[in-house]
Amino acid sequence: MLDAVEHSILVAMKTSSVPSNRRVSRRSPRALVCLALGALWISPLIGCGPDRVVYTGGPILTMNETEDVVEAIGIEGDRIAAVGSRAEVAEWAGGDARIVDLAGKAIVPGFVDAHGHFPGEGVYATVVDLNSPPIGHVETIDDLIELLRERAADTSAGEWVVGMSYDDTLIAEKRHPTRVDLDRVSTEHPVGIIHVSGHLAVANSMALERAGLDRNSEDPVGGVMQRGPDGELNGVLEENAMNFVQGKVLTPGPLEALSVIREGSRRAIAQGVTTVQNGFTPQSLITQLEWLVRFGLIEPRLVIWPGMEVADAVLAGETTLSEAAGPDVWVGAIKIVADGSIQGYTGYLSEPYHVPPGDDPDFRGYPRVPRDELRERVTRYHAAGMQVAVHGNGDASIEDILDAFEVAFEKHPREDARPIIIHAQMARPDQLDRMAALDVLPSFFSLHTFYWGDRHRRLFMGPERAARMSPAATALEKGVRFTIHCDAPVVPLEPLRLVWSAVNRRTRSGFIVGPDERISAMQALRAVTIDAAYSMFLDEELGSLEVGKLADLAILSASPLDDPSSIDRLRVVETIRGGESLYTLAD
Ligand SMILES: [Zn+2]
């Protein structure tokens, strides 16, 4: 398997053709001369140090402890060497630095993805994009079937046809497609599609048959196979029941994997993201990602959060993760998924959904990992010295997670464990108090208010609870340090839109949902830079523009502090990682 991956990487490197506007050499003539001399081993003798560059002429948001905005920054090699006033940085630069005039553009630290699934959106290089507007084009079940049919026509019989990111609440029929709908795509291909939340899937008859599932099959623990009135599987698979479909998307063949990685990489860098994350990585993918990083095919830095099965294997001595550690790739927290998603009706709540999905008015969703198992796992991983990140959307799930953290920390006290609750969407004020006491970092999916805010009010949570979703301002008030994220590919990885959403909480219809939970632009920027780095133990190396840190930065068309209502309209003009320009906006 590895040989195949390695071989295909080498082939891809030979045939790789990155558009010229994506990759611009920013080395000065002097640096090029020195590089050439370096090949002769004599450059140190004639004063060829690393390339020095000064950026000045626009606001530079350092995101340091005191949130200083400065006039100039100096970079030497892959590190930041000077930060301060124009005069201070000029003094450092001496006479031989290249000076870049920002002409009013702004510099921020390269964005750090606090939670996502890199290569995330890269999957659209190989699977069918079933998003509805404004991201994609699917407005009816017929639209969805048509797109999948086109793919089936290009796919050999018997091979999988896979689609991602349909949203039942945004298509005209307001229901999930079923096995019968997907049989209209093809009866000669297994067909599987994944809901935009990533917590449900639908399979056609052939896919179910391949998985050996029929009306006599029992639901797995933490999952549901929906059935029609006749008891037959209708093809909709919730949570743990969908794993076999998800496996088809998460484990593409080696060549497909390369186009996925390149597309994911390209999209991240174009958004100013210099550190991405894969927040739930199976062992097979860890191995592939390690190789891709080694061959330089992943442009942003990468943080890997192994799935809990990997943690089990590590603790059983069956595998180690040490190989994945290096300057460009870090192995971080162990990821556990405790419940599902609110808009998939699988988030686990203490009070019923506003409009329940079926006949049960008391429907509250359900846990994906039983409470006792959650406690046992959190305790075991924490006791082994691992950082633990648990996905929890509903407040009942968040309660279970906090209880688990409390027990684990009491039994095995450890300084600076930085436990994370991913999403923490319906965290109540009393739960934020507990997070403050336990030093838990919630990571809010703050784009929910834009993409789903209207439906959270109307359908899932009702107006009162919807106003409290992703409660960033209350978290601040209670002294809880937090991050924000896009959970790409659930929604596109767009840090500027994410920051705008946390600052404005404007829904797609223009409604301001929960105005009391809006935060300042500076605070939202912290949550995608220094605080995101902190949550992954990377704050010593990156996340702010300070002397000695890695020179990862994004140049924006203007400062996000100028007009908080239009941060989403700012453009990323250039992305620099480790002092090297990886992307410039085409004119
Ligand atoms: Zn996620």
pLDDT single digits (tens) 429-471: 999 999 999 999 999 999 999 999 999 999 999 999 999 999 9
Ligand 1 centroid, distance to 513 Cα (angstroms): 23
| Position 502 pLDDT exceeds 50 | yes
| Rounded distance from Cα 490 to ligand 1 centre (Å) | 8
CA distance 572 to 560: 11
- Distance in Å, CA 213 to ligand 1 centroid: 27
Lowest-confidence pick of 26-30, 226-230, 488-492 = 26-30
Cα(488) to centroid(ligand 1), Å: 7
For 182-292, where are the E strands, in sequence order? 191-195, 200-203, 223-227, 233-239, 273-281
User: Residue 163 burial by CB count (10 A; 0-12/13-18/19+): exposed, middle or buried?
Assistant: buried
How far CA 386 is from CA of 17, 315, 378, 412, in Å, comes to 40, 10, 9, 12
509's tokens: 């219809």
From ligand 1's centre to the CA of 306, what distance in Å? Answer: 12
Sign of the alpha-carbon dihedral angle for 186, 187, 191, 195: positive
Distance from the CA of 157 to the center of ligand 1, in angstroms? 32
For 444-497, give the DSSP string.
E-TTHHHHTHHHIIIIISHHHHHTTSS-HHHHHHTT---EE--TTTTS---HHH
Q: What is the CA(116)–ligand 1 centre distance, in A?
A: 5
Tell me the CA–centroid distance for residue 120 and ligand 1, in Å: 10
pTM (2 d.p.): 0.83
Task: Report how far residue 281's alpha carbon sits from residue 304's, in angstroms, rounded to the nearest whole number.
Answer: 7
Residue 497 CA to residue 560 CA, distance in Å, equals: 11
Span from the CA of 101 to the centroid of ligand 1 (angstroms): 39
Ligand 1 centre and the CA of 117: distance in Å?
6
Residue 445 CA to ligand 1 center (angstroms) comes to 9
Indicate whether 482 pLDDT > 90.
yes
For the segment 111-126, the average pLDDT, to the nearest whole number, is 92
Number of C-alpha atoms within 13 angstroms, CB side, residue 124?
Answer: 21
Q: How far is the CA of 284 from the centre of ligand 1 (A)?
A: 18
Q: What is the mean pLDDT of the chain?
A: 89
Partners of 83 in beta bridges: 73
High-pLDDT (> 90) share of the chain, %: 77
Q: Across residues 386-413, what is the average pLDDT?
A: 98
For residue 147, the CA-to-ligand 1 centroid distance in Å is 26
Q: How far is the CA of 232 from the centre of ligand 1 (A)?
A: 31
Distance 486 CA to ligand 1 centre (A): 9
- pLDDT surpassing 90 at residue 296: no
Question: If you measure from the C-alpha of residue 152 to the centroid of ligand 1, how many angstroms do you get, rounded to a whole number?
Answer: 28
**Rounded to the nearest whole angstrom, what is the distance from the C-alpha of residue 200 to the centroid of ligand 1?**
13
What value does the mean pLDDT take over residues 559-563? Answer: 98
Beta-strand pair 161-166/191-195: parallel
pLDDT at residue 281 in the model? 87
Kindly give the distance from the C-alpha atom of residue 470 to the centroid of ligand 1, in angstroms, as a whole number: 15
